[in-house]
């Protein structure tokens, strides 16, 4: 079928007579421009579907688009029939992500993300994560160099050479960034060495992997990960150190007390993950090597000195429950602005279901 009048065309294009009413006159300029969409069937179907659910569209345009979709659906065009609109289908599977009795794998580094917004954690975990950028490459390089620095006696020249020799493998957004970023990496190595010089604890292990099982009513929990440094304090207690190389990884003093990653490490010590070295936790610390002239150590007090010594264990269990659940909640938070999956998030204003009305220009849907 065709459209009854030009104003009802879903693509909004004017009738040919509006632009070429004097088609025979060589003086008339025919407007040249980009078509409003790709000239493909898939693009046409997408546009018709947008018009059908568009709350700002006129009833006549919506009816015209619906009629055209019906015609395309009858001809078997993919995506034209509402049976193929994912947003209208019932849930395909409402079971929990992890069946009862199956182990849930929890890493301390993923705890904060899963507890802050489980939808983001889920989507990032299953393909939605942003690709690794140069900051991550530099962080990995500094971590690798840190493996060569057991204490303040580490050979600075050797570390600097190590960083320089591998720096070119990091893909930067622009060549001119190489100098400043290389200086930044080298400065982090220097901060690490200065921090080591005043660190009162003794090193036990570097980049040490651990796995420990926690029994739980619904799913056993496999608490697993790798610590940057495992140290022992003067009282023989274990202290996990996590090196941070990002520009925005510092946490407020108030938040250190219940930092999920550090809590996860302490819970692991408590559960026997490092039994070869000991089982009493002397705390856990972030060592910030990013901004600032010197490294900044942010220490979380030992579990035994906390008001509730079980808080970290409870947090690990809450994380496991969130990761094994059947529903994942979008929870607005301070990091939504840089969330890589916000275009799939129902509360971000960008991740509507495809069958929901498009938002009006001056307000939310």
Return the range that interacts with ligand SF4 (CB under 6 A); candidates 38-46, 100-108, 179-187, 341-349.
Answer: 341-349
| Cross-strand partners of 332 | none
Instruction: Supply the minimum distance, in Å, between the C-beta of residue 344 and ligand SF4.
Output: 7
Instruction: Supply the minimum distance, in Å, between the C-beta of residue 251 and ligand SF4.
Output: 17
* Distance (Å, whole) CA 334 – CA 300: 22
Complex with ligand SF4: residue 314 or 333, whichever CB lies closer: 333
Residue 345 as a binder of ligand SF4 (CB under 6 A): the answer is yes
Return the range that interacts with ligand SF4 (CB under 6 A); candidates 23-31, 149-157, 215-223, 342-350.
Answer: 342-350
Among residue numbers 318 through 337, which ones bind ligand SF4 (CB under 6 A)? 330-333, 335-336
Complex with ligand SF4: residue 68 or 124, whichever CB lies closer: 124
Instruction: Supply the minimum distance, in Å, between the C-beta of residue 360 and ligand SF4.
Output: 21
- Count of other CB atoms within 10 angstroms of residue 137: 18
3-class state of residue 19 by DSSP: helix
Binder to ligand SF4 among 119, 188, 192, 268 (CB under 6 A)? Answer: 119
Instruction: Supply the minimum distance, in Å, between the C-beta of residue 119 and ligand SF4.
Output: 4
- Count of other CB atoms within 10 angstroms of residue 12: 13
Among residue numbers 120 through 179, which ones bind ligand SF4 (CB under 6 A)? 120
Name which of 96, 320, 294 is nearest 198 in CA terms. 294
Complex with ligand SF4: residue 138 or 330, whichever CB lies closer: 330
Is 48:354 a contact under the CB 8 Å cutoff? no
Binder to ligand SF4 among 48, 117, 240, 312 (CB under 6 A)? Answer: 117
Instruction: Supply the minimum distance, in Å, between the C-beta of residue 1 and ligand SF4.
Output: 41
Q: Which two tokens stand for residue 242?
A: 């996590």
Instruction: Supply the minimum distance, in Å, between the C-beta of residue 333 and ligand SF4.
Output: 6
Complex with ligand SF4: residue 98 or 336, whichever CB lies closer: 336
Residue 347 as a binder of ligand SF4 (CB under 6 A): the answer is yes
Task: Report the chain's terminal Cα–Cα distance, integer Å.
Answer: 32
3-class state of residue 35 by DSSP: coil
Instruction: Supply the minimum distance, in Å, between the C-beta of residue 128 and ligand SF4.
Output: 9
Residue 342 as a binder of ligand SF4 (CB under 6 A): the answer is yes
3-class state of residue 297 by DSSP: strand
Complex with ligand SF4: residue 304 or 343, whichever CB lies closer: 343
Instruction: Supply the minimum distance, in Å, between the C-beta of residue 359 and ligand SF4.
Output: 16
Instruction: Please list, in sequence order, all residues whose beta carbon lies within 8 angstroms of the beta carbon of residue 258, skipping any fewer than 6 positions away.
Output: 311, 315
Exposure pattern of 245-280 as b/e (b: 16+ CB <10 Å)? beeebbbeeeebbebbbbbbbbbbbbbebbeeebee
Return the range that interacts with ligand SF4 (CB under 6 A); candidates 53-61, 104-112, 113-121, 289-297.
Answer: 113-121
| Cross-strand partners of 223 | 106, 212
Instruction: Supply the minimum distance, in Å, between the C-beta of residue 138 and ligand SF4.
Output: 25
Helix/strand/coil (H, E, C) string of 53-111? HCCCCCHHHHHHHHHHHHHHHHCCCCCCCHHHCHHHCCCCCCCCCCCCCCCEEECHHHH
Return the range that interacts with ligand SF4 (CB under 6 A); candidates 80-88, 98-106, 117-125, 309-317.
Answer: 117-125
Phi, psi of 20 (to 5 degrees): -145, 45
Q: Which residues bind ligand SF4 (CB under 6 A)?
A: 117, 119-120, 330-333, 335-336, 339, 341-342, 345, 347-348
């Amino acid at each position: 079928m065709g459209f009854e009048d030009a104003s009802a065309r879903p693509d909004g294009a004017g009738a040919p007579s509006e632009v070429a009413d004097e088609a025979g006159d060589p003086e008339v300029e025919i407007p040249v421009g980009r078509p409003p969409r790709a000239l493909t069937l898939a693009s046409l179907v997408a546009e018709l579907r947008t018009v059908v659910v568009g709350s700002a569209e006129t009833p006549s345009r919506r009816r015209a688009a619906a009629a055209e979709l019906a015609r395309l659906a009858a001809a078997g065009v993919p995506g034209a029939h509402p049976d193929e609109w994912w947003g209208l289908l019932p849930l395909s599977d409402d079971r929990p992500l992890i069946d009862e009795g199956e182990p849930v794998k929890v890493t301390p580094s993923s705890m904060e993300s899963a507890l802050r917004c489980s939808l983001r954690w889920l989507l990032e975990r299953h393909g939605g994560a942003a690709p690794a950028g140069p900051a991550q490459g530099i962080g990995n390089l500094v971590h690798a160099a840190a493996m060569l620095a057991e204490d303040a006696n580490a050979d600075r020249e050797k570390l600097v050479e190590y960083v320089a020799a591998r720096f070119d493998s990091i893909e930067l957004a622009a060549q001119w960034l190489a100098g400043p970023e290389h200086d930044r990496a080298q400065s982090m190595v220097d901060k690490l060495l200065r921090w080591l010089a005043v660190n009162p604890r003794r090193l036990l292990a570097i980049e040490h992997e651990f796995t420990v099982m926690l029994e739980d009513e619904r799913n056993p929990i496999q608490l697993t990960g790798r610590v940057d440094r495992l140290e022992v304090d003067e009282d023989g207690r274990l202290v996990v150190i996590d090196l941070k190389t990002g520009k925005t990884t510092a946490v407020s003093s108030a938040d250190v007390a219940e930092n999920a990653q550090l809590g996860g490490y302490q819970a692991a010590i408590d559960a026997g993950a490092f039994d070869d070295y000991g089982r009493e936790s002397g705390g856990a610390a972030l060592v910030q090597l990013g901004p600032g002239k010197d490294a900044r150590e942010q220490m979380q007090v030992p579990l035994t000195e906390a008001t509730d010594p079980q808080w970290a264990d409870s947090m690990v269990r809450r994380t496991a429950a969130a990761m094994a659940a059947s529903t994942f909640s979008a929870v607005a938070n301070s990091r939504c602005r840089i969330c890589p999956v916000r275009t799939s998030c129902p509360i971000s204003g960008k991740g509507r279901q495809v069958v929901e009305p498009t938002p009006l220009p001056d307000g939310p849907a």
